[in-house]
Amino acid sequence: MGTLPPKGVWQDKFRQLDEVWPTTNDYRAASGAPGHRYWQQKVDYKIKVALDDAKQRATGSETITYNNNSPDTLKYLWLNLDQNQLVKGSDPINARTNDGDAKESFGSMRLTMAHEKSTQGLMVSTVTDEAGKPLPYIINGTMLRIDLRAPLLPSSTVTFSLAWTLDVPEVDVFRTRGGYEYFKDDKNYAYYMSQWYPRLASYSDNDGWHIRQFFANSEFTLEFGDFDVEITVPADHIVASTGELRNADKILTDAQRQKLDDAKTATKPVVIVSQAESTAKESAPSKEKKTWHFKATNVRDFSFASSRKFIWDAQGHEVEPGRTVLAMSFYPKEGNPLWEKYSTATLIHTLDVYGRFSFPYPYPVVQSINGNVGGMEYPMLAFNSGRPEKDKKTGKLTYSSRTKYSLVSVIIHEAGHNWFPMIVNSDERRWTWMDEGLNTFLQFQAERLWEKDYPAQRGEPKDIVDYMKSPTVRPIMTDGESLDAVGANAYSKPATALSILRETILGRELFDFAFKEYATRWKFKRANPADFFRTMEDASGVDLDWFWRGWFYGTDNVDVSIDGLDEYTVNTQNPDVEQPIARKKRDEEPRSLTAERNEASAKTDDFFKMEVDQKPELKDFYNQNDRFTVSNADRNKFNTLVKGLEPWEKALLGVGEFAYVLDFRNIGGLVTPVILGITFKDGSTEQLRIPADVWRQNPGKFSKLIVRKKQISSVEVDPRLETADVDLENNAWPRKIVPSRLEIFKQTMPPSRNLMKDMDEPLKKDEKKDEKKDDDSPTAAPTL
Ligand SMILES: [Zn+2]
């Protein structure tokens, strides 16, 4: 019902997306699953790296074995040199912009100055083939191309080696995802080694070589493979790494190995290296070296951290019957007492929640490392910031509730990235939401299961409203490097959309099955957006193209207005029933003001008396019977009508119910289910859920007839705030007064400089500098 929009105005908000999505083929099926000829490359690494703690430099060599599983012949290979984004004059540096005003923060200014004289970058010294002969190569920004001596045929393998050095960047200066942190109080370093070695770029069925430069914003994708890595560091360092330690007998003491063994079945974290032990090492650094040997199977990348400052705790957790994962945390004393209490416990909670929503964690270890990197994930290991504050005078350690909950959230988030994108592989450099959004959705589930009223920042529909209203909102399906407001766009909005899909549109049963199916199908494989969209529809059995179109491809928001509510009672067409009702209605209408005043005046002034009352002979039949009088002719007509009706038609005339026509308008443009909270005059309530399909004919407005036995007193749209409706003022009928508190403030002017008074102030001597916030205080870096 209702009028249709004219042809030029109508939009098909339900138009199918297969016109937009890539055509399916043998590699990617129309169901959203990997096709029967799905393939991906495999890249294995043997790396030796040594850290020079005096120069903060890493020197390494690596041998890469590249397995071409594609049906294509490859003449060259591309590698990522992400560290080259820091080379002076690089495109990522020269493409930086500022806001255009004459203001710049100290930190941003320091970064600009550091870029000006940066010598950072991966200095590749040799590229050689298996025989040790040099291979031709060219460096193109953050990429390196190796030209193979002979084309690499399908189902064949090539092995080659590189040697390189890296001046490890200082995280606080360069705001990188890894690097080193300097602790000036005890003059020690911690290294968070990320994106640190030449890494083979991805080659995929839909993109060929993933050749996009690293501009430092959106992250990366890589191929799966096996790693064998030897890491040489000062002998008193503790190394946390992707993979499993293979030479614990040479590296760890008997007591430490025993504790690690105990940790596997412990019910709370077991301390492997205590705060007292790590603190003792700070003032007497070792001159010796040790080599830690790690192996990792089927990982997308390899990262590690190293410092003599690390405290180390561990606890085993059974992720599926018979298989235990070791959750471990590494942190300097500056992280306590927060880290010893929350880090490993949070890892275990993450294993539980993510495992339930997708698949059991497949790797042997999961690790959380405290560093000044805001938050960044790598396989089996993540860097997380967040430390208590130390009172400069008393030395007392305290932390705000924000610091605590941010830490729990960032550990869930970064450990959660193991699932998306480290195991369910996606390319963040193109589609940031595919890992950040899906991961933030599960982070929200984990937060809601941590404690009652957990201060979750992302996932609740009402919390996305400000972004959805903002004029710079962009489609979620925007290239990672072109995003604005990345946190809102690629983290919060997809997480919220999925939350709405789960709680409001599909329901938990259908959603959870489909989401788990997506995770399972693409575990250790590379998924694209359409694979996710298609799987969610295929497995839930619900056409969701309108939902993806609205939430992922568009910039509309949800704003449904209820514009009217008309009440009807069913017309029985029986004149003996209907005419008295019509008369009553007439009598309830306001009377003519002229007639009313005439009657009042007639009491004292004969002029106003009615002519027919003064001359009764002027009255006739129509002074006794009006248009509401029922005649036998009316009754006969009704009886004839009733005789001609089918029994079910008769029944409808007999019902004594209330009918309502509700009018809705779609102001925001995004089509959505319409959830109504109906309150009846007797105080009872009802929830009515109208599916989004109601907008198919006219996405701008619709009217709906509902019939109830009881009289309605009010109707509210989205009473539980489950659809992210951006304007609640048009959600109630009758309109409600929205109560708020008016704050009255005193207008103040900034004090003007009073030079006469200022000149009288004596010069203060030797003022303590410690009122100023130190540069090494925890940075409020974003979660990545
Ligand atoms: Zn993230």
Residue 154 parent element (H or E): none
Q: What is the pLDDT of residues 41-85, one digit of tens each?
A: 999 999 999 999 999 999 999 999 999 999 999 999 999 999 998
Mean pLDDT over 438-450 rounds to: 98
pLDDT score, position 783: 57
Taking the centre of ligand 1 as the mean of its atom positions, its distance from the CA of residue 434, in whole angstroms, is 10
Taking the centre of ligand 1 as the mean of its atom positions, its distance from the CA of residue 417, in whole angstroms, is 6
Q: Is residue 726 part of a domain?
A: yes
Taking the centre of ligand 1 as the mean of its atom positions, its distance from the CA of residue 652, in whole angstroms, is 59
Q: What is the pLDDT of residues 270-299, one digit of tens each?
A: 999 999 999 999 999 999 999 999 999 999
Tell me: do 666 and 727 sit in the same domain.
yes
- If one compares 744 and 525, the residue with the highest pLDDT of the two is 525
Q: What is the pLDDT of residues 452-478, one digit of tens each?
A: 999 999 999 999 999 999 998 999 999
Taking the centre of ligand 1 as the mean of its atom positions, its distance from the CA of residue 439, in whole angstroms, is 7
Taking the centre of ligand 1 as the mean of its atom positions, its distance from the CA of residue 501, in whole angstroms, is 21
Residue 582 CA neighbour count, 13 Å, CB half? 14
pLDDT score, position 335: 96
CATH of the domain at 711: 2.60.40
Domain stops at, among 713, 733, 753: 733
Q: Is residue 708 part of a domain?
A: yes
Tell me: do 659 and 647 sit in the same domain.
no
Taking the centre of ligand 1 as the mean of its atom positions, its distance from the CA of residue 368, in whole angstroms, is 14
Q: In this model, does residue 773 exceed pLDDT 60? A: no
Tell me: do 644 and 585 sit in the same domain.
yes
Q: What percent of the chain has pLDDT over 90?
A: 78
Q: Is residue 600 part of a domain?
A: yes
Taking the centre of ligand 1 as the mean of its atom positions, its distance from the CA of residue 437, in whole angstroms, is 8
Confidence label for 784 from pLDDT (cuts 50, 70 and 90):
low
Taking the centre of ligand 1 as the mean of its atom positions, its distance from the CA of residue 254, in whole angstroms, is 37
Mean pLDDT over 561-586 rounds to: 90
pLDDT score, position 142: 93
Taking the centre of ligand 1 as the mean of its atom positions, its distance from the CA of residue 173, in whole angstroms, is 21
Confidence label for 3 from pLDDT (cuts 50, 70 and 90):
low
Q: In this model, does residue 769 exceed pLDDT 50? A: no
Taking the centre of ligand 1 as the mean of its atom positions, its distance from the CA of residue 458, in whole angstroms, is 12
Taking the centre of ligand 1 as the mean of its atom positions, its distance from the CA of residue 109, in whole angstroms, is 26
CA distances from residue 253 to 247, 517, 714 in whole angstroms, order as listed: 11, 44, 73
Q: What is the pLDDT of residues 596-614, one digit of tens each?
A: 999 999 999 999 999 999 9
Taking the centre of ligand 1 as the mean of its atom positions, its distance from the CA of residue 79, in whole angstroms, is 23
Taking the centre of ligand 1 as the mean of its atom positions, its distance from the CA of residue 415, in whole angstroms, is 9
Domain stops at, among 714, 733, 752: 733
Give how many domains the chain has, as a whole number.
Answer: 2
Confidence label for 114 from pLDDT (cuts 50, 70 and 90):
confident
pLDDT score, position 200: 98
Taking the centre of ligand 1 as the mean of its atom positions, its distance from the CA of residue 433, in whole angstroms, is 9
Taking the centre of ligand 1 as the mean of its atom positions, its distance from the CA of residue 41, in whole angstroms, is 25
Least confident range from 343-352, 541-550, 649-658: namely 649-658
- Average pLDDT of the chain? 93
Query: Measured between alpha carbons, how far is 546 from 548 in angstroms, rounded to an integer?
Result: 6
pLDDT score, position 96: 83
Q: Is residue 30 part of a domain?
A: no
Sheet holding 732-733, edge to edge: 685-690, 674-680, 712-717, 732-733
Q: What is the pLDDT of residues 640-670, one digit of tens each?
A: 988 988 888 888 877 678 899 999 999 999 9
Taking the centre of ligand 1 as the mean of its atom positions, its distance from the CA of residue 435, in whole angstroms, is 7
Q: Is residue 65 part of a domain?
A: no
pLDDT score, position 580: 93
Taking the centre of ligand 1 as the mean of its atom positions, its distance from the CA of residue 486, in whole angstroms, is 11
Tell me: do 636 and 592 sit in the same domain.
yes
Burial of 535 (0-12, 13-18, 19+ CB in 10 A): buried
Which two tokens mark 430?
Answer: 């193109």
Sheet holding 323-331, edge to edge: 270-273, 311-320, 323-331, 365-370, 381-384, 375-378
Taking the centre of ligand 1 as the mean of its atom positions, its distance from the CA of residue 493, in whole angstroms, is 14
pLDDT score, position 772: 40
Tell me: do 643 and 714 sit in the same domain.
no
Taking the centre of ligand 1 as the mean of its atom positions, its distance from the CA of residue 52, in whole angstroms, is 30
Tell me: do 629 and 587 sit in the same domain.
yes
Q: What is the pLDDT of residues 499-519, one digit of tens each?
A: 999 999 999 999 999 999 999
Q: In this model, does residue 777 exceed pLDDT 50? A: no
Tell me: do 634 and 660 sit in the same domain.
no
- If one compares 224 and 396, the residue with the highest pLDDT of the two is 224
Which two tokens mark 630?
Answer: 């029922």
Q: Which of 36-50, 479-493, 747-761 has the highest mean pLDDT?
A: 36-50
Q: Is residue 727 part of a domain?
A: yes
Q: In this model, does residue 100 exceed pLDDT 80? A: no
Taking the centre of ligand 1 as the mean of its atom positions, its distance from the CA of residue 784, in whole angstroms, is 4
Taking the centre of ligand 1 as the mean of its atom positions, its distance from the CA of residue 344, in whole angstroms, is 19
Per the CB < 8 A criterion, the answer to whether 273 and 176 are in contact is no
Domain interval for residue 717 = 560-564+655-733
Q: In this model, does residue 338 exceed pLDDT 70? A: yes
Q: Which residue has the tokens 């990997």?
A: 34
pLDDT score, position 776: 38
pLDDT score, position 458: 96
Taking the centre of ligand 1 as the mean of its atom positions, its distance from the CA of residue 33, in whole angstroms, is 24
Q: Is residue 19 part of a domain?
A: no
Q: What percent of the chain has pLDDT over 70?
A: 97
Q: Which of 93-107, 634-648, 671-685 has the highest mean pLDDT?
A: 671-685
Which two tokens mark 270?
Answer: 């077991």
Taking the centre of ligand 1 as the mean of its atom positions, its distance from the CA of residue 376, in whole angstroms, is 7
Domain stops at, among 638, 654, 670: 654
Tell me: do 575 and 650 sit in the same domain.
yes
Confidence label for 170 from pLDDT (cuts 50, 70 and 90):
very high
pLDDT score, position 721: 96
Tell me: do 612 and 684 sit in the same domain.
no
Residue 755's identity, in one-letter code, is L
Q: In this model, does residue 11 exceed pLDDT 90? A: no
Taking the centre of ligand 1 as the mean of its atom positions, its distance from the CA of residue 375, in whole angstroms, is 8
Q: Is residue 685 part of a domain?
A: yes
